[in-house]
Amino acid sequence: MNEMVQNPPPTAGIRATRQRAAREAAATPGADRVRVNDPDRTMANILQVATAEFADKGLAGARIDEIAALTSTSKRMIYYYFGSKEGLYVAVLEDAYRRIRRIESELHLEDLAPEQALRTLVGFTVDYQLANPDFIRLVMNENMHRGEYITQSATIQELNIPVIHAVRDVYQRGVAVGVFRPDVDPVDLHMSISALCFFNVANRHTFGAIFKRSLDTPAATAQRRESIIEMIVRFLRP
């Protein structure tokens, strides 16, 4: 059963909630008043714990009571900030995509030669997803919901525009100097990069068990990383 007290807030609701929290802090009694006085820290704490909870148990299995018990806030305050369990879940998805896209923007791909920029982007994607398995689990869980909640978030749609622009820029620069072939769709290229990196984390345990391979050793990880980079680069060569 959904732990729900009201309809999920709109995507822009986090910003509005911070403003509301600041306005209503004086009217909030007891320990919760202290928490409301620092909504950014409180919400960050909730999101961090909720990310692990939703990644581990999915939307249906996660419990607001458990998230409240593991944070410095209360169940009442979680609903106060996010409106519902579903609202918190959407906020977790937004935060997960916001983190990876923020780091991608710091790669400065525009300063690198096209092939080196591509290698840097693919290598980063391999490393990030390997180091953040909760991101993979969240995406897997949302796919089980057929993207029902991610489509409710205009924020996630906007967050993913820059990465397509970055991929397109790297690709078009490579085509212009003759190092990439001129018949590849940038969205399809992004999907191919994501697919290889995603599988590397999502299926490592089943693949390793079936084929009796240890995929967690530093040597195996490095070899697979290089293979993924080479596959993408060679796919684009003329």
Supply the DSSP string of 176-206, one letter for each residue.
HTTSS-S---HHHHHHHHHHHHHHHHHTHHH
| Dihedral sign (CA 139, 140, 146, 148) | negative
Q: Enumerate residues 6+ apart whose C-beta is below 8 A from 213.
A: 207, 220
Assigned domain for 3 exists: no
Distance CA 85, CA 81 (A): 11
**pLDDT for the residue numbered 36:** 52
**66-119 tens-digit pLDDT:** 999 999 789 999 999 999 999 999 999 999 999 999 999 999 999 999 999 999
Look up the pTM and report it. 0.81
Model confidence at 8, pLDDT cuts 50, 70, 90, reads very low
Exposure letters 186-211 (e unless 16+ CB within 10 A, then b): beebbebbeebbbebbbebeeeeeee
Is residue 47 domain-shared with residue 79, that is, in the same domain?
yes
Assigned domain for 69 exists: yes
Residues 46, 67 contacting (CB under 8 angstroms): yes
Is residue 76 domain-shared with residue 115, that is, in the same domain?
no
Is residue 82 domain-shared with residue 137, that is, in the same domain?
no
Assigned domain for 57 exists: yes
**pLDDT for the residue numbered 194:** 96
Is residue 84 domain-shared with residue 124, that is, in the same domain?
no
Is residue 111 domain-shared with residue 55, that is, in the same domain?
no
| Dihedral sign (CA 2, 149, 70, 42) | negative
Model confidence at 18, pLDDT cuts 50, 70, 90, reads very low
Is residue 82 domain-shared with residue 128, that is, in the same domain?
no
Distance CA 184, CA 199 (A): 22
Distance CA 12, CA 1 (A): 26
Domain boundary among 64, 89, 114: 89
Is residue 131 domain-shared with residue 199, that is, in the same domain?
yes
Q: Which range among 25-29, 81-85, 155-159 shows the weakest confidence by mean pLDDT?
A: 25-29
Average pLDDT of the segment spanning 44-70: 95
**End-to-end alpha-carbon separation of the chain, Å?**
54
Higher pLDDT, 121 or 16: 121
| Number of domains making up the chain | 2
Half-sphere exposure of 152 (CA within 13 A, CB side): 20
**pLDDT for the residue numbered 38:** 80
Assigned domain for 4 exists: no
Average pLDDT of the segment spanning 162-174: 97
Assigned domain for 1 exists: no
DSSP, collapsed to helix, strand or coil, labels residue 60 as: helix
Structure tokens at 172: 């078009």
Assigned domain for 6 exists: no
Distance CA 52, CA 157 (A): 23
Model confidence at 30, pLDDT cuts 50, 70, 90, reads very low
Is residue 102 domain-shared with residue 61, that is, in the same domain?
no
Residues 67, 59 contacting (CB under 8 angstroms): no
Domain boundary among 33, 63, 89: 89
Structure tokens at 23: 């306005």
Owning domain of residue 30: 13-89
Q: What is the CATH number of the domain that holds 80?
A: 1.10.357.10
